[in-house]
Every structure is written in C-alpha cells, then in structure tokens.
Amino acid sequence: MSKKSGKIADLIHGLRGQAENAHYLGFFECFNRGLYYEAHDVLEELWLSDRNGPNYAFYKGLIQLAGAFVHLQKNRLKPSLALFNLAQKNLTLYPSHHERLNLLEVLGIIHDWSDALIESDFTLNPLNTKPAPLLHLMKCSPIQQGTLVIATRNKHKLQEIQKIMGDHWRYLNLLDLPGAPEVLEDQATFDGNAQKKSLELAQWIMSNGILCQSLAFPLLILADDSGLAVDALNGAPGVYSARFAAMDSGEPGNSADSENNAKLLRLLHDVPAAKRSARFHCVLALTEIETPYSPQAEWKIKTFDGICEGVLAFEASGQGGFGYDPLFVPAGFEVSFAALGEEIKNRISHRSNGLSKLKSYLGA
C-alpha cells in the first residue's frame, strides 16, 4: 500500500459498511473539516474507479470544488476561479438532487465564491472574510417528475426560480445548452416575448435528437419576460427595461443595471413621492412536451402573470437583488427589494406571484 493510499484508508476508517461508498462519505467528512486537499484525494480514488460510470463527471466536479478551496488556502485566487468554473460545468450535468446531495445548494456556493473573487478583482481572498461552506447529504432524494428548462443565463433569476419551484424537477438552463438560440425579444408585450422565447427554445431542443435522448420527459420549457412599468413615464421602461439606458446610444444588447437605474432616477428627478407609483410585471410562458415523439401540434403553451405594486425611491439602497431592485419599494414595506432579503422578496415578488400560479397548475 502506498503512503497516499494508507492515508486515505485512515481517513475513511469507520465509514465502511454504510449505504454509500466510504470514499464518497469521506469526501464530505474532510470537506466540512476544511481538509480540502484530503477531500480531493479521498474522492479521487472513487472517481478513478468510475471512469466509465454514470457518476464520472459528478465526482470530478466535487473534486474540482475541493481543489478550488485548496487554491484559496494557498492564496492562488485565479486558479481557484478556474476550478470553480469547471466544477460548475460538470455538476450542472446532473439533476438538482443527486446521490443525496442538493446540487442547487452546491452551485449556489460556487456562484457566491466565484462572485466574491471577481468582485474584488482577485485582490481579496474570500476564505479570509467568509465562513467556510458546509456540504450536507440529505436523508433521501426527492422524486423528480421531468425536466424543467429555464430559458435564461441570469444566475440570480435561476436561483430565484429554482428556490420557489422546489425539488420536483431536473433543472437545466441556457448555460447547460451551448448552441441554444439567442431569441430576439422584438414583441410589444411581455406575453409575446415570453411565448416567443419558450417556443423557439422548445423547437431547438426537439430538433436535437441526441439532446432529446438525454432528457427526462415530460419536458417543460419555461421562459419569462418581465420589467418595470412606471406610471409617471406612461408605463416605461416596460419591455425595454433591460436595455433602457442603451436605447439612448443605440448600442445593441442590455444595459448595466447601474446605468438603467441612473437613467430612471434622472427621468424622475422632479416627480414627487405621491406620483412615483410603479409595478414589476412578469409573464411566464410554459411549453409542455409529453414525449420525445410529440408533434408540435400537441405541445401545450400556457402563460402565468405576476405583478408586484410599489413606488420608486429617490435613491438606491440595499445590497441584494438585481435590476431595479435597489429603487423599488414594494407596497406595504419601507425599504427596497434589494434591502428586503431573498426570503421576503421570493415571497412577494412579481416572479414569485407568477411562479405560484405555475406551481398550482403543475400540482407541484
């Protein structure tokens, strides 16, 4: 026995004889004690023995996650981010709950720690300022009903939708589907844009035979379009909410959140508090496909509306959220969406209202 194998045998001593492989359990024992190098090594043995197995990329992703924290311990920040990205790529190949592990939580950890590195421009090591994350195995995995494809690359929106919709689905998103079409949002209404995005993505997926074979059916493709409607601006920015500032310059694509908020405040500079009413409006479009052989004539398309009324503040506040959240104060509250926190926002937001109707429809 090599020195390394002997060390691993010591690490997993006492974990043998349980339902899961001792190396798999040993990974979590080591990771949660901050022994990231050991976590890497103990799972590597299992990964090497499963090179042709269904969990090959799953184990590889967890090994890369541990490796990212090894780099952080050695203050190698850019290599750490590279491994976070590789871990995400591998782990998103699997259902949201796999081998008793909540991958939504794991991907949330990856996003948070990656963001911390990027936002500091690699000048601060988050391991020095944040508590080390813990990974927990669930007592059992929930039963999943099919595949829910969320037509967005916006990670904030993905986390919000997945948290609200729960554990009943295998989730995929546009980050998991390289080559997915960029849909031109050229419709005059939220409803029109949402339906167009959902249907065009469904058509693309169903035209890809290899991809279809890898998906669990029924297949649901969920797209949304949402925005802010300000009464003092006759409903603007509306469907142009994401590219509000860019409309002035004619630049293609969406604007930065800070630019959109700055333009909104500028336009409302002389509008008094009593006339700053606004609402977030979201339309969710769901395309349902029962089997890989369902003709398009049998696809079902349904839409679900959600609205959140409020007013616009005179200045931004709060550290959370995205988009216009720092300016929007929902009815019944004194602080902005960005200051309310994720839990409250997910309960009262326009998207939450629409998703609750969707959940009721699906019986989730």
Positions annotated as catalytic residues are 225
Who contacts 249 (Cβ-Cβ below 8 Å, separation ≥6)? none
Closest by Cα among 198, 205, 170 to 93: 170
**Degrees, nearest 5: CA angle 65-180-301:** 110
Query: What's the one-letter identity of residue 166?
Result: G
Positive or negative CA dihedral for 86, 90, 93, 99?
negative
Query: What's the one-letter identity of residue 159?
Result: Q
Residue linked to tokens 């630049």: 251
Closest by Cα among 216, 248, 52, 84 to 155: 84
Please tell me whether residue 181 adopts helix, strand or coil conformation. coil
Cα–Cα separations (whole angstroms), residue 334 to 75, 227, 259, 278: 41, 21, 24, 15
69 and 127 in contact (C-beta within 8 Å)? yes
